Structure 1
Amino acid sequence: MRDSSTDQRAVGFLLDLIDADPAARIRRRIGAPRPGGNRRRVAQAVLKLTAVPSSVLVWILEEDDPELNAAVYAHPSADPTLRRAVLRGVPFGPGRKGPLPVDIGLRKHADEPEVPQAVVARGLVGALRAATAMGPARVAASMVLGHGDWRTVTAADRERPLPGYARWALAVRPDCPPALRAQFGSHPKFDHRVRQAGVLAGPGVYATAHGPAAQVLKVLSLGPALFPTRVREAEDALRPLVRDHLGDREEAWAVLAQLLETYHGTAPELIMTAGAIA
């Protein structure tokens, strides 16, 4: 393997899913590092994760770390809503209350956009109820910031269902609570739009159903520093496959390392293929 490749981090993440002694032996043979690292350095690595589902950015924000929040703010995939939430110090972690500290560099150089006039005039719920097209619905939905606003929207929809456009705009928000999305109901076209928006049920789904494997595993290899609580879901999803198909066989790990760079399938497919070849 190349000394500084994506492959090293990806294989290093998977090696943490087997017992420590064989993992150390295999690391020495193929040169795979342990995942994680200095948080400041990892925060900068966020900006290089160009092709990530929007849910990944929310998992990072759930750590409520000002330095990581600033990195998410600068990420090309962060939408204006997430950026506004970062500037306001909105907490994303469950049970946490704000406002959070905002990175000093971000405070000095970033200005929050104005509140949309429709929300000023009608209030949040009023603007959502008045949305008769996708554009106004997206504008209103963009102002739902934090746990309190989501509770307000949930209660309003339960009292009287919100218009279809408003529900759509809210559902494709990556931080929309799963319970509210379920409350909106299910339809194949609706579910497809949610998937297109990069909204995932959790890291376990990302680890097992998305590809290419190298990109997914690179993101997950940063998980111990970027979203340590959530990355366990991905580890639990992949651990049985790694142990069953790779285990402590050096040959299988060497094959996986060789395949990874050009493999276009998912991580489970890669793991099973490497084990079968070895």
Structure 2
Amino acid sequence: MLKQRIITAIWLIPLVLGAVFLLPTEYFAWALVPVFLIAAKEWGQIIDKRCQITQWSFTITIGALLIALNLFVPSDELWFKGHLHPIYLAIILIGALWWAISFLLVISFPKSSALWQKSHMFKSMFGQLTLIPCFAALISLKGLSSEADPYYGGILVFLVMLVVWSTDTGAYFAGKALGRTKLMPNVSPAKTIEGLVGGLITSMVIVMGVMLVSPEQELGLVIAVTLFIALVSAVGDLSESMFKRVADIKDSGTILPGHGGILDRIDSLTAALPVFTLIYIAFWM
């Protein structure tokens, strides 16, 4: 399994970074649509894994919303005088609120599942709240690129990805080596408190990198934001685990050998990206 994960990562990471840094924001936004459509199809199994009509209906809904966003808010209109377009800002704010609610659902699971596990409407709404704000945050950060600094937005997206990847990797290996105390056994039996701590410690490597490249940044703020985003990413991971557990699904898909589906790869990012975007607007704009 580990060997297959590494092989997939070897070709996947350059592909992702190439899109983040080399594609103009407009093309980047359209390139993301099929990726999110695959994720939407996978979420459709969470809604009802037996009904193809339900799965495709949800996928088409997500596709229509993403295409509408790309058409009605072109990439060159995302930012104006340091302010994010109100439609995108509203979507990201709603997304951040959703993750606060999702955190409550996770920590109160399985009792909380009584509210939504039999409702296609709720699970469809949760899927939209998970995917659409993530898409909006990705495009918003990427759109911060300018002629003077064409890679700035890409660097921000990359930093969030690095925090999430380092946290996931540190948690995986720390959990394997030291994991004893279950974090939330009802949600994800494999995750441990030792793994979470290992992931948070590993995320500090990103802080070191940021301070080396940009020493004018306030160290305390960078540490606080990194740790907070790392914790938020863990909520995204646990949230998807909760929904898959109720749906009796191990992996969201098989498109990425060793990793599962698209949702399995972006679950942490779906939470981290909207929250980071709001923090960036609040403290760095």
State the TM-score bracket (shorter-chain normalisation).
under 0.3
TM (normalized to structure 2)?
A: 0.23
Larger Rg: 1
- Kindly indicate which of the two structures has a greater share of residues assigned to helix: 2
TM (normalized to structure 1)?
A: 0.23
